[in-house]
Amino acid sequence: MPADRSLPHVLSHWSSAADRARQMSRYWLGSGAAVITALFVLFFLLTPAVQRPTDFTLYYAHDHIYAAYLTVYISAYTLAEVYLSVASWRLASRSPRTAVRVGLRTVAVGAAVTLGYSAVRIGNVTAAALGTSLTGWEDFAWICGDLGTILTLVGWLIPTLTAQTRHATYQWDLRRAHRQLHPLWLVFYRAVPEIALTPNDSTADDRSHTRGIPFQVYRRVVEIRDGQTAVRPYLDHHIRQASEERHRAAGLTGDELHAAVTADQIRAALTAHTEGTLPAQPTDFADQNIESWHPIEDLPALRAIARHFARHDQPTAPEAVST
């Protein structure tokens, strides 16, 4: 019963203006308190003589006090479920989030299904007054009650489960990206160790690990870009031109072409950097025109570069270096 009253209270604040929501909340809380008080009084007035764990309602439906108790309970329950179903369905159409819309509509369907339970319970009271019984409908009542409750609970959980699933997928993808970028980062680190943003003390190192995989990927992207900056003076125009012709002939275009050419440029520039040979006609990286406002926006481009780099370069076993 408290849950039946608290859910409309929540929906009131979701779907109405602040003043209207406060007014409706006072109504729901006040009516809920009145119903609970009435149920307490009627409960203590009950005098069941026989324990009936499976068919209590059917057995005592003829008792006037229990009939009153059941009528108050089912009336309040039905009112709350009707409001929950209608309000959830209406509110779902106003939400821009798919998970919230699906969740609220599932809640609405679940609340509507529970009305089958309410109908049978009201029928029990009516049938007892008429001297008959609805024994054959008892299973239907429990099916509606249980199924409706399950649907309602699942509906409330759908947005949370969706958000958690997306977060877990995002974290998994970042870990995969971190592994994909490692070979590319490693060749830069071997050529230009200064790119590694190694903390100066153990406290800072511990802090970098507690920040999690997003920070580690961010750091790896920055260090790779710093590595590109370090070898930029060694980029040869003829290397870029030959690479572009070869990859265009292979059918690559757009960003994929830029990634493949950049991977070739990195390989050649690292060799020239090691030998100390500056090109006669310098150039820039093929991916120089990629616009980004944040280093993490470079991640898709760097993953493509790392993929092409790995196809033509098999790095040796990773050194004991981590970032």
In this structure, the answer to whether residues 48 and 108 fall within a common structural domain is yes
In this structure, the answer to whether residues 138 and 268 fall within a common structural domain is no
**CA geometry: angle at 126 spanning 80 and 107, to 5°?**
25
Evaluate if pTM is beyond 0.75.
Answer: no
DSSP-derived secondary structure letter, 69: H
Residue that is last in its domain, among 118, 150, 166: 166
**Identity of residue 238:** H
Within a domain: residue 182?
Answer: no
Report the pLDDT averaged over residues 142-163.
Answer: 94
In this structure, the answer to whether residues 215 and 255 fall within a common structural domain is yes
Q: What is the number of structural domains in the chain?
A: 2
What is the longest distance spanned by two Cα atoms in the chain? 106
Least Cα distance to 225 among 160, 306, 145 occurs for 306
In this structure, the answer to whether residues 119 and 251 fall within a common structural domain is no
Which tens digits make up the pLDDT trace of 62-80? 677 878 888 888 888 898 8
In this structure, the answer to whether residues 69 and 144 fall within a common structural domain is yes
Within a domain: residue 118?
Answer: yes
CB 244 within 8 A of CB 286: yes
Spatial separation of the C-alpha atoms in residues 188 and 303, rounded to whole Å: 15
Domain, as residue range, for 102 = 2-166
CA dihedral 310, 316, 317, 318 (to 10 degrees): -70
Query: What share of the chain has pLDDT > 90, as a percent?
Result: 51
DSSP sequence for 177-245: HHHHHHHHHHHHHHH-GGG----SSHHHHHHHHHT-HHHHHHHHHHHHHHHHHHHGGG-BHHHHHHHHH
What's the pLDDT band for 29 if we cut at 50, 70, 90? confident
Which tens digits make up the pLDDT trace of 153-190? 999 999 999 999 999 999 999 999 999 999 999 999 99
**Would you say residue 137 has pLDDT above 50?**
yes
In this structure, the answer to whether residues 241 and 288 fall within a common structural domain is yes
Within a domain: residue 178?
Answer: no
Within a domain: residue 272?
Answer: yes
Spatial separation of the C-alpha atoms in residues 86 and 178, rounded to whole Å: 47
Pair of tokens at residue 116: 């089958």
Residue 258's pLDDT is what? 92
Report the pLDDT averaged over residues 233-249.
Answer: 94
In this structure, the answer to whether residues 147 and 197 fall within a common structural domain is no
In this structure, the answer to whether residues 9 and 158 fall within a common structural domain is yes
- Return the sign of the alpha-carbon dihedral for residues 115, 117, 122, 126: positive
In a 3-state reduction of DSSP, which class is residue 78?
helix
Within a domain: residue 83?
Answer: yes
Comparison of pLDDT for 38 and 22, the residue scoring more: 38
Within a domain: residue 321?
Answer: no
Segment among 106-110, 131-135, 138-142 with least mean pLDDT: 131-135
Which tens digits make up the pLDDT trace of 192-226? 999 997 654 443 444 455 468 999 999 999 999 99
pLDDT averaged over the chain? 83
What's the pLDDT band for 290 if we cut at 50, 70, 90? low
In this structure, the answer to whether residues 196 and 277 fall within a common structural domain is yes
In this structure, the answer to whether residues 202 and 123 fall within a common structural domain is no
In this structure, the answer to whether residues 109 and 31 fall within a common structural domain is yes
In this structure, the answer to whether residues 83 and 126 fall within a common structural domain is yes
**Identity of residue 290:** I
Spatial separation of the C-alpha atoms in residues 306 and 309, rounded to whole Å: 5
